[in-house]
Structure 1
Amino acid sequence: MEQQTRTSARPLGAALKPRQLTMMGLGSAIGAGLFIGSGAGIQAAGPAVLISYLVAGTLIILVMWALGEMAAANPDSGAFSVYTAKAYGPVAGATVGWLWWLQLVVVIAAEALGAAGLLATIFPALPVWLMAFVFIVVLTAVNLTSVKNFGEFEFWFALLKVAAIVGFLLVGFALLFGLVPGVQSPGLSNFSGAGFAPSGFGGIATALFVVAFAFGGTEIVSVAAAETAEPARSVKKAVRTVLWRILVFYIGAIFVIAAVVPVGSAGLKSPFAAVLDAAGMPGAATAITLVAVAALLSALNANLYGASRMAFSLAERGEAPRFLASVSKGRVPVVAVLASVAFGVVTVVL
């Protein structure tokens, strides 16, 4: 009865496919935190940052297992906001929902400007504000189409990032095993002696701040469950595959970077490019920059989706202005999408 009361006359669609849900969770977690922030983690803890990733990864597994169970049992666009409200009351639920929404709308603006700033290093003639505005307009248009089209767009966006990381791992391990012609393997000397944890336990603890940020985004799977066909089966598959893929990609990539790039190296500012440069691959910096731009735009796309669905859910529960629950003929919360992207537009103008 409660579900019927909250559901609008024209509810959201349920057209997301399991593969799209899986890639959405994977793509949201693979962003600037991995491509750029991983260098900061290694700088803080040395190769011992792998311990930080394992600790954070374990916590992510436990949280996502629990969140996946709740999302499968009660798929709702408000996800953890709704579950919090059921456990602790409407005030707690609304607080969690609004805090998450506010975080995402700020991140949307930061990702648009960040992607534009990175692209400007390759094409300096293009104004940053103009590129950021174009990114926002295009991805807003994507989010205003049916959820099926959004899911397909995000699927290919995320697949690009996954392919880039797989390629990086192949090159990295070939370098470590001495299989790159004309290039001597750096070996595992960075992992020996005091060089493994140059800053001790304090460095490992400090790196956890960077690592926790990098893993953010996996929770969007629980939000998208409400618009997925057969949510119980889809969420179970998505949570299971997202978790092991993230751990493989993150741990594998960090292992390669830590083995190749020593602590204190200027290459840690762009760690992926540093590894590819060490392997003697021309144009590595440009290629990684373009992948990082795609990573930021993919995360922007997914975060705009998540923010709009949370605003929609809050409005349905009377915790936000009712007009945010307006749904188009395509079963998309149009007003919630526009409200969620508005901060990004204002930021670009400023």
Structure 2
Amino acid sequence: MIAIGGVIGAGLFVGSGSGIASAGPGILLSYAIVGVMVVFVMRMLGEMSAANPTSGSFSAHADRALGRWAGFSIGWLYWFFWVVVLAIEATAGAKILESWIPGIPQWAWALIVMIVLTGINLISVASYGEFEFWFAGIKVAAISAFLIIGGLAILGVLPGFSHGATGLDNFTDHGGFLPEGPGAVLTGVLMIVFSFMGSEIVTLAAGESEDPQHSVTEAVNSVIWRIGSFYLGSVFAVMALVPWNDKSITEIGWYSAALEVIGIPHAGEIMKFIVLTSVLSCLNSGLYTTSRMAYSLGERGDAPKSFSHTNVRGVPRVATLASVAFGFVAVFFNYKWPDTVFVFLLNSSGAIALFVWLVICFFQLRLRRILSREESEKLVVRMWLFPYLTWATIGMISFVLIYMLTDTAEGGGRDQVALSTLLALIVVGISLVYTGLSRNRTGVPNKHRRR
């Protein structure tokens, strides 16, 4: 369920309306392009994680394949990315809760949400998994119900649906399938790619499961149908029910717009509840992800050693509290300086997930050859058409990053790539200095990693 829910972020429910408004029905192609890219990345990551399950996941694999500097850099960058996400999701959840209970201010709701979910993560990994199971279950149930109801409405067999069968008219009317031109498909890619972030979390959680190899294999093998049904299925249903240029798609959200067309009462409040569930799921996963990445970094000597200490229930309490502390700081920045300091944090983390995907591709190229030569029995999951699809994925991700540079709007793709690259260079520089100092102290670099 972590695997299923991890690929369904709040962005699927609230962040795709602008993409539809920009690309029209062609947004289906945008989702297909990003979906294929995510499937390939997850296949590569699954291949390595099934062979060597670890809480550090891609950071630990990068360490082994590319060197200590790579594991250090990508681990801390990913940790920073999720710390910023904590602030975004806590604020989003607080806004919804305040709209229901206005007597409690937004900042207090954010504090309450963070404290409750921190407590859940401190109890045990099982408590995190239990809550994520239910959060994911609600999201999956909501999308499944939407697809069923939407499908019946499209076919014209839904009782009480006054609009009748819509067929595929909305895909060809209102300017055609590509009303804004082929280039809008790429613009749509930029607007939706970040709604797919989080699918890689399952490989971190698998390291603490009873049967990591089996868990990773099942999760990776289900990626195709998850993306195909949840993302492409949802987009298709919405586009068939609501004209792409209907203002309600951006004003109240695409799911809400479709539910209102069908005639579902209180569609807005229903979607608020589902979005809140998605926000809490993302926040819960973010707390888990930051703590486990910090734990892995501490275990490998790239963070304070105390980060690698666990309590009797196996929870890295210091790593969790340290990560939450930075999350609270980010939330404070979001309230105190939302248009300056927090925007800088947001933009500087904007392209990091794409950097992580690139690193996954490169370490898979190297580790696959090592495993094929030395430990081929561990390759229970294999990347298709290796190494050709790996190089194709590298090309796809690189193209997205380059295309982001054409987005010159304030806080747009160019700012995100520039600031994220600057941050990455700083972290890589720190890692090289740190690695050099470690070598001088021990005389044998990375000796502890060769176990």
In the superposition, the TM-score normalised over structure 1's length comes to 0.90
Cα offset for 1:197? 1.1
Q: 2:222 aligns with which of 233, 236, 241?
A: 241
Cα offset for 1:149? 1.9
Q: 1:67 aligns with which of 45, 63, 66?
A: 45
- Does the C-alpha gap of structure 1 residues 182 and 173 become closer, same or farther in structure 2, counting only changes over 3 Å? closer
1:164 matches 2:142: yes
The answer to whether the 8 A contact 1:119-1:289 is kept is: no
The answer to whether the 8 A contact 1:221-1:239 is kept is: no
1:115 matches 2:96: no
Distance 2:214 2:330 in 1: 40
Q: 1:38 aligns with which of 5, 11, 16?
A: 16
The answer to whether the 8 A contact 1:25-1:217 is kept is: no
1:306 matches 2:286: no
**Residue equivalent to 2:266:** 283
1:190 matches 2:137: no
Structure 1 segments (4+ residues) deviating >6 Å: none
**Residue equivalent to 1:97:** 75
The answer to whether the 8 A contact 1:33-1:210 is kept is: no
Q: 1:264 aligns with which of 226, 240, 245?
A: 245
Q: 1:324 aligns with which of 303, 307, 311?
A: 307
In the superposition, the TM-score normalised over structure 2's length comes to 0.70
Cα offset for 1:182? 4.4
| Alignment: residue pair count | 328
1:288-299 equivalent positions in 2, closer than 5 A: 288-299=271-282
Distance 1:79 1:67 in 2: 8
Cα offset for 1:319? 0.9
**Residue equivalent to 2:344:** none
| Worse-matched range after superposition: 119-128 or 254-263 | 119-128
Secondary structure of 1:262's partner?
A: coil
The answer to whether the 8 A contact 2:86-2:331 is kept is: no
1:345 matches 2:325: no
Distance 1:265 1:342 in 2: 42
- Does the C-alpha gap of structure 1 residues 340 and 211 become closer, same or farther in structure 2, counting only changes over 3 Å? same
**Residue equivalent to 1:78:** 56
The answer to whether the 8 A contact 2:9-2:197 is kept is: no
Q: 2:66 aligns with which of 88, 92, 111?
A: 88
Identify the structure with bigger relative contact order (alpha carbons < 8 Å, sequence gap 6+).
1
Distance 2:286 2:329 in 1: 17
The answer to whether the 8 A contact 2:6-2:202 is kept is: no
| Worse-matched range after superposition: 132-141 or 240-249 | 240-249
Distance 1:93 1:346 in 2: 25
Distance 2:331 2:226 in 1: 34
Distance 1:72 1:226 in 2: 9
Identity of aligned residues (%): 45
Distance 1:273 1:115 in 2: 18
Amino acid paired to 2:124: S
Cα offset for 1:210? 2.3
Q: 2:208 aligns with which of 224, 227, 230?
A: 227
Cα offset for 1:348? 4.1
- Does the C-alpha gap of structure 1 residues 187 and 302 become closer, same or farther in structure 2, counting only changes over 3 Å? same
Segments of 5+ residues of structure 2 without an aligned counterpart are: 337-451
Secondary structure of 2:104's partner?
A: coil
Q: Which entry has the higher C-alpha Rg, 1 or 2? A: 2
RMSD: 1.4
| Worse-matched range after superposition: 180-189 or 28-37 | 180-189
Distance 2:110 2:192 in 1: 27
The answer to whether the 8 A contact 2:295-2:316 is kept is: yes
Segments of 5+ residues of structure 1 without an aligned counterpart are: 1-22
Cα offset for 1:266? 2.1
Distance 1:121 1:188 in 2: 37
